[in-house]
Structure 1
Amino acid sequence: MSTQSLQVTTGVELAGIDDLLTVDERLVRSSVRALCEEHVDPFVADWFERGEIDDIRGLTKALGDLGLLGMHLDGYGCAGMSAVSYGLACLELEASDSGIRSLVSVQGSLAMFAIWRWGTEEQKREWLPQMAAGEAIGCFGLTEPDAGSDPGSMQTHARRDGSDWVLTGRKMWITNGTVADVAVVWAQTDDGIRGFVVPTDAPGFSAPLIKHKLSLRASVTSELVLDEVRLPESAVFPEVRGLKGPLSCLNEARYGIVWGAMGAARSALESAVRYTLQREQFGRPIASFQLTQAKLAEMSLEYTKGLLLALHLGRRKDTHTLRPEQVSLGKLNNPRAALEICRTARTILGGNGISLEFPVIRHMNNLESVLTYEGTVEMHTLVVGQALTGIPAFR
């Protein structure tokens, strides 16, 4: 390893957080990093620029072969690993690109978790082994054009027709939708909101690709259109009613985001440190200027705090003591801190900061989406506020 790369690693890992990880956790992290270095990093800037991933099914299969899809779930071909290991995997995936981490999060923490937690034994056996292996891709249909932060106002509905269900409605901003083999769709029914396992080849189902994005471009984002989609009784989740079902899935995904955002932050910080050592102005590296070092120190501090928060929440999750408002603390803090780190890194790189030759602007644009999805800053602020005061201020 070169002296320069040693300086970069030391600069990012000042707190020695590795001392808090087990050997197995570090091995998981190394394995995910190696996969990303082979299958993602050489190509992701081009994917982002073109707005499409080459051979997304091949990539999903590689992720499945490593055991990353639904890795924190037990049984049905899932790896059954710890929450901290899953978090470290999310960090490494997002250090490559938020879109790749989103693919894994939606597959494992939304679609697979919904089936694993709320599905019938038949649904689990049919879908989870395929999805864990990366042989089937899933998506999660909750958000609608007019129902984002207020999912209870969704317009998608399901009605009984004999022994069948008939679904009609639209979902928006759905990761993996266009390439998915199965969609978990939430809909209003006479019994409240219920979840359905919808094969995407069902008549009346379509998933048009959403184009013209300037964020998460290395990710498939879709609309779901359900036009009188007829499903058998066996397609519905049998017990869960109301928002309890989808919100339990969102908490799983938000946990992964808490870690993932720090991966984007780390990548930007590493790029900034490396750049300051190479870039010379006024006859010396810009790393030698006090204002540059002040920026790097602040970035390192925010990264360290975010990583420690993620690790603490992961340890609580592994002991089954993690509460929803604690997940909101992480979701509120870490994407916001990561976005500020990326913005600061962009200033250090100057004009080069807007070039896809460096990962910074790509991470910065992606984090604008990460900041908003799975609960906006405003919604998580109110969750924390309610936890502090006991007063709900959502309406």
Structure 2
Amino acid sequence: MREPVRGTVIPSDLYGFAERLSLAERTVITELRRVLAEEVHPHLNAAWDEARFPEEIIAPLRGQQLMDPPALRAAGEPIRDIFLGFRNFELTRCDINVATYYNAAASLFRTICTLGGSPEQARELDAKIVTHELTGVFALTEPDHGSDVAGGLATEATQDPETGEWIINGAKRWIGGAGAADVVATFARDTADSQVKCFLVPTSAPGLSMTTIPRKASLRIMQNADISYHEVRVPESARLQRINSFADVAGCLRRMRSDVAWMATGAMAGAYEAALDYVARREQFGRPIAGFQLIQEKLALMLGNLTASLGMVVQLSEQQAAGTYRDENSALAKMYTSLRLRETVALAREVCGGNGITLDTDVARFHADAEAIYSYEGTHEINALIVGRAVTGVGAFT
């Protein structure tokens, strides 16, 4: 794919936001881009068409050691928020499914374990997560509770007074990657105090069953599961000790939401660059359509959406690196970038004409999968209400 505009660190980064990365961080991102292009991307369109997960991409992704990159260790550098952001950006620039799959473990599951576990749990679990010795997924959403899960979460956990074990009953839905995971970080309401707790439930536990959700029109590569729990027993040691209310869960979601904003921004880059590549090659009326005024206006809008979103997520990451975590900040970023993503992928499909609905241009894949990003980690409306409550001081939730 051609390098549009500048491409010194990140293609299409018109304002050079990625120049804030260190040399070692740039080395990791550049190598990741190569691996995604050469070893991951070739498998995507066939897998998307067949609604299956391509197992061939697992080894190349794990081989990058992105949770603890050797290049950063060798340089003696910490893993910074800005690096994690551009890691998500680059994964999603390749494909939304790929980034969603990777972040199910590296972001959602890892965050709940490191922030929700006791210091001892966090140390033990994180060492295994980083090396992929332990794989897990995050299970909050339920068949009847998504946006209202804070108050409506129905999965229950009851502690057996004789054994100390927890007995879990209920159901979860839309749990990405669950079929390939070792454990499911399951959120359940304690029947004793009605507070939300989190339990690491082995996928092999008696009483746990799951089925893959079929017939999806978005995120077709990612295998999302329905999970049911019937008298599933786990020991007290499986309970994450620092998750004792939904407020604790919300603290984790606040951090995860910024990852999704980065993903929305990366997906804009992927769709924009695919469209730009297409219009440079496609000829009508005897010349490339890239030279048509109406095409260039749409390209400029796409690049504007991408650039504005990059500025927002870079600033958000820098705030969080400084210790500032506000619900409204991450909610605004997720709301805005996913809305701009919707517009950008529509424009990308439009400039590719009829060919834009085929998988061959990559644009159709971004166009369909953007709907998943628009919905998960808080819908547009829920995030808007979080922002609205912060700026007005009045909650408008029902």
- 2:68 and 2:79 in contact (8 A); partners too: no
Task: Give, as a single letter, the amino acid of the residue that structure 2 aligns with 1:154.
Answer: L
Shift of 1:308: 0.9
1:268 corresponds to: 271
In structure 1, the residue matched to 2:245 is 242
1:249 corresponds to which letter in structure 2? Answer: C
Q: Counterpart of 2:313 in 1: which secondary structure?
A: helix
How far off is 1:333 after superposition? Answer: 0.8
Q: Give percent identity, aligned residues only.
A: 34
Encode CA deviations 1:207-246: one digit per residue, 9 max, x unaligned: 2111111111111210111110011111112243211232
How many angstroms does 1:43 deviate by? 0.5
Aligned to 1:176: 177
1:166 aligned residue: 167
CA distance in 1, matches of 2:331, 2:119: 31
Q: Give unpaired runs (5+ residues) of structure 2.
A: none
Residue type of the alignment partner of 1:363: F
Distance 1:54 1:273, change over 3 A: closer
2:2 to 1, 5, 9: 5
Q: 2:325 aligns with which of 313, 322, 343?
A: 322
TM-score relative to the length of structure 1: 0.91
Structure 1 residues 14-60: Cα deviation after superposition (integer angstroms, max 9, x where no partner): 323343433233223213212312331111111111111232xx644
Q: Which residues of structure 1 form unaligned runs of 5+?
A: none
Partner residue in 1 for 2:304: 301
CA 1:275/1:148 → structure 2, altered by over 3 Å: closer, same or farther? same
- Alpha-carbon distance in structure 2 between the residues aligned to 1:150 and 1:28: 39
Is 127-136 or 354-363 further displaced after alignment?
127-136
- 1:217-366 alignment runs, 5 A limit: 217-366=220-369
The amino acid across from 1:179 in the alignment is: A
Query: What residue number does 2:23 align with?
Result: 23
For the 8 Å contact 2:197–2:240, the answer to whether it is kept is yes
Cα 1:359/1:35, change in 2 over 3 Å: same
Is 2:183–2:200's contact at 8 Å kept on the other side of the alignment? Answer: yes
Kept after mapping to 1: 8 A contact 2:243/2:249:
no
Distance 1:239 1:296, change over 3 A: closer
**Is the 8 Å Cα contact of residues 382 and 393 (structure 1) preserved in structure 2?**
yes
Query: Match for residue 153 of structure 1?
Result: 152
- State the SS of the aligned residue for 1:256: helix
One-letter code aligned to 1:287: A
- Render the CA deviation track for 1:238-277: whole Å, top value 9, x for unaligned: 2432112322232232111111111111111112222222
Alpha-carbon distance in 1 for matches of 2:375, 2:4: 34
Cα distance in 2 for partners of 1:99, 1:193 equals 29
Report 1:26-37 matches (<5 A): 26-37=26-37
Quickly say closer, same or farther: Cα 1:121–1:312, change in 2 above 3 A: closer
Which digits, 9 at most, give the CA deviation of each residue in 1:164-193, with x for residues without a partner? 110000000001111110111010112211
In structure 2, relative to structure 1, the CA distance for the partners of 1:278 and 1:145 (3 Å cut) is same
CA deviations over 1:300-324 (Å, ceiling 9, x no partner) = 1111001111111111111112322
Q: How many equivalent pairs are there?
A: 384
Q: Could you tell me which residue of structure 2 aligns to residue 14 of structure 1?
A: 14
1:105 Cα deviation from its structure 2 partner: 1.6
CA distance in 1, matches of 2:106, 2:310: 22
For 1:103-114, what aligned pairs fall within 5 Å after superposition?
103-114=101-112
Please tell me the residue identity of whatever aligns with 2:330. V
Is the CA contact 2:178–2:224 (under 8 Å) kept in the aligned structure 1? Answer: yes
- CA displacement 1:111-169 (0-9 Å, x = unmatched): 12111112135544553333211233211111001110111211100012121110000
Q: CA deviation at 1:8?
A: 5.6
The answer to whether the aligner puts 1:198 opposite 2:172 as a matched pair is no
Question: Match of 2:49?
Answer: 49
